[in-house]
């Protein structure tokens, strides 16, 4: 998958101060959905995610480098490594993203839920045994971003699966490609690019999630934890 051209703070902090060398971080992905999933894990800079089946009620733990940055997402049911609908997540095939940058600016871990390209599953990120960072305050300091109930998807933004059910919901940017929706071109400026109508509707339902490219101030969380849980279909 080519990276989304939308820039969030997650891509900026990766170039900041590196954390001191240390042990690996653990990311446990939990499937609390009532159906099986295929989980994808992708390191920033890679073209495709690495797939792992995850049955309902099961979990899988990943050991990541202390300075790793990347993302997790999931698709319903079984997937093949040759299926780009599973190995990629972007404008062409949106997914609910759990994004991480470990050991970023200030030595903190940065993490967020992103619906910038769209969404497909409820998701939550939970730091485990975290130490408060000096970068963020309030709920953004070792908090747990969550979207337990997905926003309503406009019919013209829906991507249908093979069985007629919704495969994913596009964001306005993914659906229209307009600079004003994607914060590109002359709109590539946080003072110029603002949330469109659907981004605002997504934000009302899931206030912790990135709804558009410059949604940093209400969507970026930081912590210093040894492990994090990514929960698909979390409890409300």
- pLDDT one-digit tens code per residue, 136-157: 888 999 999 999 999 999 999 9
Tokens of 201: 């509707």
Q: Is 186 exposed, middle or buried (0-12, 13-18, 19+ CB in 10 A)?
A: exposed
pTM: 0.87
Three-state SS letters, 53-117: EECCCCEEEEEECCCCEEEEEEEECCCCCCCHHHHCCECCECCCEEEEECCCHHHCEEEEEECCC
Tell me how far apart the terminal alpha carbons of the chain are, to the nearest angstrom: 31
185-230 per-position pLDDT tens digit: 999 999 999 999 999 999 999 999 999 999 999 999 999 999 999 9
Quote the CATH superfamily of domain 9-232.
Thaumatin (2.60.110.10)
Q: Is 209 exposed, middle or buried (0-12, 13-18, 19+ CB in 10 A)?
A: buried
Average pLDDT over residues 4-18: 38
CB 235: neighbour CB atoms within 10 A?
9
**pLDDT at residue 170 in the model:** 95
Distance between CA atoms of residues 134 and 201, nearest Å:
31
Q: For tokens 């497909």, what's the residue?
A: 120
**pLDDT at residue 6 in the model:** 35
Tokens of 51: 């797939």
């Amino acid at each position: 998958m080519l990276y989304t051209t939308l820039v969030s703070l997650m891509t900026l902090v990766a170039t900041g101060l590196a954390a001191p060398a240390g042990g690996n971080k653990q990311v446990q992905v939990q499937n609390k959905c009532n159906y099986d999933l295929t989980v994808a894990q992708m390191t920033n800079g890679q073209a495709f995610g690495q797939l792992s089946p995850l049955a309902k009620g099961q979990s899988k733990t990943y050991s990541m480098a202390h300075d790793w940055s990347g993302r997790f997402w999931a698709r319903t049911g079984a997937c093949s490594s040759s299926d780009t609908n599973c190995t990629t997540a972007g404008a062409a095939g949106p997914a609910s993203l759990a994004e991480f940058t470990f050991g970023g600016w200030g030595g903190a871990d940065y993490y967020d839920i992103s619906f910038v390209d769209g969404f497909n599953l409820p998701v939550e990120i939970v730091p485990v045994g975290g130490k408060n960072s000096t970068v963020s305050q309030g709920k953004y300091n070792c908090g747990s971003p969550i979207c337990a109930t997905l926003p309503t998807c406009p019919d013209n933004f829906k991507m249908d699966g093979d069985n007629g059910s919704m495969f994913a919901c596009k964001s306005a940017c993914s659906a229209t490609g307009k600079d004003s929706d994607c914060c590109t071109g002359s709109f590539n400026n946080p003072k110029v690019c603002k949330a469109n109508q659907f981004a605002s509707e997504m934000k009302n339902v899931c206030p912790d999630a990135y709804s558009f490219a410059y949604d940093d101030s209400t969507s970026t969380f930081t912590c210093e934890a040894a492990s994090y849980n990514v929960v698909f279909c979390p409890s409300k």
